[in-house]
Amino acid sequence: MSAYVDQFPAEARIVRAAFWSSFIALGVGGLLGLVQVLHRTDVVRFMSGADYYTVLTLHGVLLAITFTIFFLVGIFTWAITTSLDRGLENLRFTWLWYGLMSVGTVLAAIPILAGFVGSVDMSASVLFTFYAPMQAHPLFYLGLTIFVVGTWLAGADWFRTWLVWKREHPDERIPLPTFMVLTTMLFWYLSSLGVALSILLFLLPWSLGIWEQVNALLTRTLFWYFGHAVVYFWLMPAYMMWYLMLPKISGGKLFSDPLARVVFVLFLILSTPTGIHHQYLDPGIAEGFKFIVMTNTFFLLLPSLLTAFTVVASMEHGARQRGGTGYFGWLKALPWRDPIFTGMALAGLMFAAAGFSGMINAGMNINYLVHNTFWVVGHFHLTVGTAVALTFMAASYWFIPQVTGKRLWNKSVALWQVLLWFVGMTFMSNAMHRAGLLGVPRRTAEPQYAGFEFEAGLGSVAELDAQIALGGTLLFVSVVLFLANVVMTAVGDRIDDLPDNEYADTLSGADDAPLVLDNLKLWTAIAVVLVILAYTLPLLSIIDRGGVFGPGGGAFPMVAESLRLVVVAAVDAGVIG
Amino acid sequence: MTELEREIGHDEYDPIGTLALIAVYSAILVVMWLFMYFVEFLGNDLTVVGVIG
Amino acid sequence: MNIHTYEKLWLAAAMVLIVGFIATITYGSVGVGVAMIDDSEATLDPNDLGEDERFAEPRVEHVGDNEYEAYVVARQFIFQPNPIEVPAGSTVTFYVTSADVIHSFSIVGTNANTMVIPGEVATMTVEIDEPGEYGILCNEYCGAGHHDMEGLLIVHPEDEFDLEGEE
């Protein structure tokens, strides 16, 4: 055994490239987060309210899409190559998908950034959800499409590597890390199909002037078909880290390989037929459909609750092997001075809290109380903003030395960094949840109204704002410490006494898992059937009510007129369509 | 990576601490759920009701 | 596949929790009568609101004993009518549609909260007992002036309420 960079030097390069792309997005996105939090709470305002939405669009796209997905293609590449013990089949293909993802990001970012420049007739301040009939510049939709195609090819790369391995090892179980990658990619294919259809059939042609109108409810429903499953695309890599890394760092073994497989299978089959729970308060969708989707959503709690048990039991195994005792005393025997452990453990703890606020969101009628309020923002800063982001940062402290061959620059700074994130997020997220209960809206530049005030039962809106501003500032400091640490590590000297590239051993191993768990075709078929059951009737009903292109209404574009005119002229001349 | 005091195999390991932690967690979940649903939500003003036919 | 007894216990408890959550929501729907925003109204062309007898003139109408209907249009960046005025002790059904992009119609600090989607009409019936004032805001980003989009719901004491145009 040796470090990853020595085992797979060529693959380590691609993982490094993916990580740096991810960290650049984290740095820019984090800075924009600070700008927003100070603007919203009226601590520092140096831009117009309109610019706030451009900042928010970029913050959302860079952190939710670029930071998370670039990081996860890095660790998925690591997981496939390490657990199959073989390199990728064709590195030129690998660099192709990395290139597509990068080009897509840049193309989508150009019109967003142009929103800041009044003299450029181009903009895409449509936020991460880009709901029609608000219209972005075609480049925005095109960039997103190219990015998603890049991730599809990445999945093909990993599947191909696995298939070649399988031919050589016909009777072996799929190694757990590979199993996790493959199941995650399968539901990613299934769910990203929705947004791809929405963009390619409707939004992109519409932004080019080929369609005159689109159905706002239909494109919104297709977005959420993808929009909820995408959160599991972010979350599954974090789960993977909890299953593969936490037990080992705790000094123990993974409690159960079979249950880890069950969890990933459940996510494969249940993560997509749940998207309508983001539309509980949408007119045009019958209550019955909403109820069915709620049932699916609540059953999706099951794999997360199982994960909580399996991962904590694995940590406890480590703690007891290290001499821990008692009902709760064993917690003291865990390696709390290790930033990798502490970061991931705190991320998991925050995810437990997020589970609660998520249940409220998922509860069909209680959703009236919190829908589109600041509560929701508090919720997803615990999930993607902590369970995922903090896990990724903590994991980086292990991965960066592995893929660069260099020693982590400063372990104490790393420990402070993860603690600071936890404290900052506690302030910010808790106050966001409370503000949401008062009715403070999300996605609003200046939630200070002329005609009324929010009534706080306990404390005051000013106190909540202060906590949010403080928390946001601490989070930004944490991002800076993180980036400083990884950059300083990267510029350091190569060492040759790195720990080996390995992941957790199991107490109950793959041999205990029924063979059917590895039948990916079966689970994919079930997932497809569930999606068809959950979505056919609502989609048909929406189309039946309003037509494929909607009952009417204009576009509300922020688009380059010149490009539009060229396309309109081309359509008229019969060149296109 | 760390100094182990003892090796605990599969058959001799009972994750009683995990069970205890998770019991505490679910108790918190249930209490907070009931509070949110019956006090914060149903106790709130202007609840949307079925159309009076 | 051997699953540890404790994990089996937890699996069972988790299922009980999940079923319990769904049961609570079902109780809210069936027992308390909380209705969801649904698809009861036909679609309409947002460019032709002027030809729709409900939305050509956004207003509050007295339709029965203590029953009122409010026809509300949300557009960048106002609500019409504003303010919305109703008496206490009444049942009010809001019909809300959008003249342009997606908005929301959210009565601040209450459970009355709906998305407003162009082409669709959201309906929402609430019982209003006490006199008072509520803010109304849009909680879905709808453009550069989104944060200025607000309105007011004024609930008058029953004996002081006169609807314009009514004898």
Active site residue A381: yes
Q: Of A40, A137, A228, A433, which is the active-site residue? A: A228
- For residue C149, the SS3 value is coil
Size of interface A-B (CB pairs under 8 A): 80
Q: What's CA A500's distance to the chain center, in Å?
A: 29
Nearest to A495 by CA among A407, A408, A410: A407
Residues 307-326 (A) with a CB less than 8 A from some CB of B: 308-309, 312-313, 316-324, 326
Going from the N-terminus, what domains does chain A have, and what CATH number goes with each? Answer: 4-546 (1.20.210.10)
Taking the CA of residue C147 and the nearest CA in chain B, the distance in Å comes to 23
User: Between these two residues, A119 and A339, which has the higher pLDDT value?
Assistant: A339
Name residues whose C-beta falls within 8 Å of residue A532's C-beta, 6 or more positions apart in sequence: none
User: What's the pLDDT score for residue A271?
Assistant: 94
Distance, CA of C8 to CA of B19 (rounded, Å): 11
Q: Find the mean pLDDT for residues A269-285.
A: 96
Residue A304 pLDDT more than 90? yes
Residues of chain A contacting B1 with CB distance shorter than 8 Å: 248-249, 251, 499
Distance, CA of A111 to CA of A259 (rounded, Å): 45
Q: 3-state DSSP helix/strand/coil percent for chain C, to nearest 5?
A: 25, 35, 40
User: What's the pLDDT score for residue A124?
Assistant: 79
Q: Return the percentage of chain C with pLDDT > 90, whole number.
A: 92
Q: Is B49 on the interface with A (CB under 8 A)?
A: no
Residue C108 near residue A372 (C-beta atoms within 8 A) = no
User: What's the pLDDT score for residue A207?
Assistant: 93
Residue A385 near residue A451 (C-beta atoms within 8 A) = no
Give the per-residue SS3 of A356-373. HHHHHHHCCCCHHHHCCE
Residue A475 near residue A421 (C-beta atoms within 8 A) = yes
Q: 3-state DSSP helix/strand/coil percent for chain B, to nearest 5?
A: 50, 5, 45
Q: Do B15 and A316 touch (CB under 8 A)?
A: yes
Residues of chain B contacting A313 with CB distance shorter than 8 Å: 15, 18
Residues composing chain B: 53
Of these ranges, A23-27, B11-15, C1-5, the one predicted with the greatest mean pLDDT is A23-27
Name residues whose C-beta falls within 8 Å of residue A357's C-beta, 6 or more positions apart in sequence: A375, A378, A379, A382, A433
Test mutation, A301, A321, A322, chain B, max B CBs within 10 A: A321
pLDDT band at A270, cuts 50/70/90? very high
Tell me whether residue A368 is exposed, middle or buried, using C-beta atoms within 10 angstroms of its C-beta: 0 to 12, 13 to 18, 19 or more.
buried
Residue A178 near residue A244 (C-beta atoms within 8 A) = no
Q: Classify residue C46 by its DSSP letter.
A: G
The C-alpha angle A248, A263, A511, rounded to 5 degrees, equals 65
DSSP sequence for A155-180? HHHHHHHHHHHHHH-TTSPPPHHHHH
Taking the CA of residue B30 and the nearest CA in chain A, the distance in Å comes to 9
Residues of chain C contacting A259 with CB distance shorter than 8 Å: 3, 7
Residue B53 pLDDT more than 70? no
User: What's the pLDDT score for residue A554?
Assistant: 87
pLDDT band at B2, cuts 50/70/90? low
Taking the CA of residue B34 and the nearest CA in chain A, the distance in Å comes to 11
Q: Which of A53, A363, A372 sits opposite C144 (nearest CB)?
A: A53
Angle, helices A339-362 vs B16-34, to 10°: value is 40
Distance, CA of A360 to CA of A369 (rounded, Å): 9
Residue C71 pLDDT more than 60? yes
Q: Classify residue C103 by its DSSP letter.
A: E
The domain spans of chain C are 1-34, 46-160
Q: Locate A476 and state its tokens.
A: 């930004």
Residue A202 near residue A219 (C-beta atoms within 8 A) = yes
Distance, CA of A565 to CA of A110 (rounded, Å): 20
Residues of chain C contacting B42 with CB distance shorter than 8 Å: 28, 32
Strand C84-87 and strand A556-557: pairing?
unpaired
Residue C50 pLDDT more than 60? yes
Neighbours of C51 (CB within 10 A): 10
Q: Is B13 on the interface with A (CB under 8 A)?
A: yes
Active site residue A380: yes
Q: Do A323 and B5 touch (CB under 8 A)?
A: yes
For chain C, the maximum distance between any two Cα atoms, rounded to a whole number of angstroms, is: 78
> CB under 8 Å, gap of 24 or more: what pairs does C158-161 form?
C158/C87, C158/C88, C158/C89, C158/C90, C158/C131, C161/C85, C161/C86, C161/C87, C161/C88
Q: Return the percentage of chain A with pLDDT > 90, whole number.
A: 90
Q: Residue-wise over A495-531: b if at least 16 C-beta within 10 A, else e?
A: eeebeebebbebbbbbebbeeebbebeebbeebeebb
Active site residue A564: no
Mean pLDDT of chain A: 94
Model confidence pLDDT, tens digit, residues A71-121? 999 999 999 999 999 999 999 999 999 999 999 999 999 999 988 887 677
Asked, as a colleague might, if the bond just before A401 is cis with ω within 30 of 0, I would say: no
User: What's the pLDDT score for residue C162?
Assistant: 81
H/E stretch holding B24: helix B16-34
User: What's the pLDDT score for residue A564?
Assistant: 47
Residue A526 near residue A269 (C-beta atoms within 8 A) = yes
Taking the CA of residue C55 and the nearest CA in chain B, the distance in Å comes to 20
Q: Find the mean pLDDT for residues A36-56.
A: 94
Name residues whose C-beta falls within 8 Å of residue A536's C-beta, 6 or more positions apart in sequence: none
Residue C36 pLDDT more than 50? yes
Q: What's CA A16's distance to the chain center, in Å?
A: 19
Q: Find the mean pLDDT for residues C1-6.
A: 88
Model confidence pLDDT, tens digit, residues C109-128? 999 999 999 999 999 999 99
User: What's the pLDDT score for residue B1?
Assistant: 47
Model confidence pLDDT, tens digit, residues C135-167? 999 999 999 999 999 999 999 999 888 876 554
Q: Is A565 on the interface with C (CB under 8 A)?
A: no
Q: Classify residue A476 by its DSSP letter.
A: H
User: What's the pLDDT score for residue A577?
Assistant: 40
The C-alpha angle A202, A205, A208, rounded to 5 degrees, equals 140
Name residues whose C-beta falls within 8 Å of residue B20's C-beta, 6 or more positions apart in sequence: A327, A328
Neighbours of A540 (CB within 10 A): 10
Q: 3-state DSSP helix/strand/coil percent for chain A, to nearest 5?
A: 70, 0, 25
Report the CATH number of the C46-160 domain.
2.60.40.420
Q: For C123, left (φ over 0), alpha (ψ -120 to 50), or beta?
A: beta
Active site residue A228: yes
Model confidence pLDDT, tens digit, residues A136-195? 999 999 999 999 999 999 999 999 999 999 999 999 999 999 999 999 999 999 999 999
Residues of chain A contacting C104 with CB distance shorter than 8 Å: 281, 371-372
Residue A288 near residue A238 (C-beta atoms within 8 A) = no
Q: Is B40 on the interface with A (CB under 8 A)?
A: yes
Q: Find the mean pLDDT for residues A207-215.
A: 94
Q: Find the mean pLDDT for residues A212-219.
A: 96
Residue A123 pLDDT more than 90? no
Residues of chain C contacting A443 with CB distance shorter than 8 Å: 139-141, 146
